[in-house]
Amino acid sequence: MRNKVLRTSLFSATLVVSLLASTTSAFALTLPTFPACETPHGSVLASNGQGNHGIAGSNSDHTGTDIVYSVSGKAQATQCFCGTDSHGIQTDWLNVTGYSDGDLDFLRRSGWVFIPDGKLWGLDSGPYMTHNSNYTCGTGGAVLGISDPGGEVLGLADTGTARQNLIAAAGLSFIIAGVFLVSKSRRSSEKQLVAEVE
């Protein structure tokens, strides 16, 4: 009877661990770096003078100037907006053509905004993700410093969903129960052996 319980526990633990191993989606997404607006580099894609400007992810018009720099062809760009009140917004643009749904979901959960077509913003046609960060710029568009270097992300990782974590906890519980039953079974067997010897 005890051997049957032990085998069932070990089989269940093995099944749960196998299921966990096949459904875990831990992955790393490496993003390119983006220059800060205080030291922009790349070729200028657009330079827009004083006026109203759109910022991806914002429903408001923003009054000021902006310059868009191509960082890596048109697959990666940085938009530096400088408001008339010296409030700047840096928008990092990343072309996500070919990214998996998991990558896109992770970027969304990390504060990135999905733009279905960059062509409407003067970039190549295709899907983009954008990330905004604030910085302080000077009058006339001179940039003084960035207060949130949000575009300096080098890598992101997703450690799984709540369902996967629950499966892991259940698997660990089965393994602990199996070890406990094996230990208890050995002690019982040792007691029987001692009783038979006496």
pLDDT in tens, 90-142: 999 999 999 999 999 999 998 999 999 988 888 888 999 999 999 988 765 44
pLDDT (average), residues 34-52 = 84
CA distance linking residue 88 with residue 95, whole number of Å: 23
pLDDT for position 161: 45
Q: Cα(first)–Cα(last) distance of the chain, in Å?
A: 25
Q: Please provide the average confidence, as pLDDT, over all residues in the chain.
A: 72
Reported as half-sphere exposure (CB side, CA atoms, 13 A), residue 7 has a value of 4
Of 158, 173, 188, the one marking the end of a domain is 158
| Number of domains observed in the structure of the chain | 2
Whether residue 67 sits in one domain with residue 9? no
Give the per-residue pLDDT at 46: 83
Fill in the DSSP letter of residue 157.
E
Indicate whether 19 and 32 sit together in one domain: no
Are residues 193 and 153 both part of a single domain? Answer: no
> At a CB cut-off of 8 Å and minimum separation 6, what does 81 contact?
53, 55, 62, 64, 65, 66, 88, 89, 90, 91
The residue segments making up the domain with residue 186 are 2-25+161-197
Q: Does residue 97 sit in the same domain as residue 145?
A: yes
Are residues 76 and 150 located together in one domain of the fold?
yes
- The pLDDT score that the predictor gives to residue 100 is 92
The per-residue pLDDT for 84 is: 86
How much is the pLDDT for 155?
Answer: 30
89 in the same domain as 42: yes
Residue written as token pair 């960035």: 146
Q: Same structural domain for residues 117 and 132?
A: yes
Pair (59, 85) in one structural domain: yes
pTM of the model: 0.58
Given this model, what pLDDT does residue 11 score? 54
Does 150 share its domain with 186? no
Q: What single-letter DSSP state applies at residue 86?
A: S
Q: Do residues 37 and 11 both lie within one domain?
A: no
pLDDT at 32: 77
- Quote the strand ranges of the chain, DSSP E: 27-30, 43-54, 61-70, 76-83, 87-95, 113-115, 128-137, 143-146, 155-158
Same domain membership, residue 81 and residue 20: no
Q: What per-residue confidence (pLDDT) applies to 94?
A: 92
Q: How far is CA 128 from CA 95, 125, 131, in A?
A: 4, 9, 10
51/63 same-domain check: yes
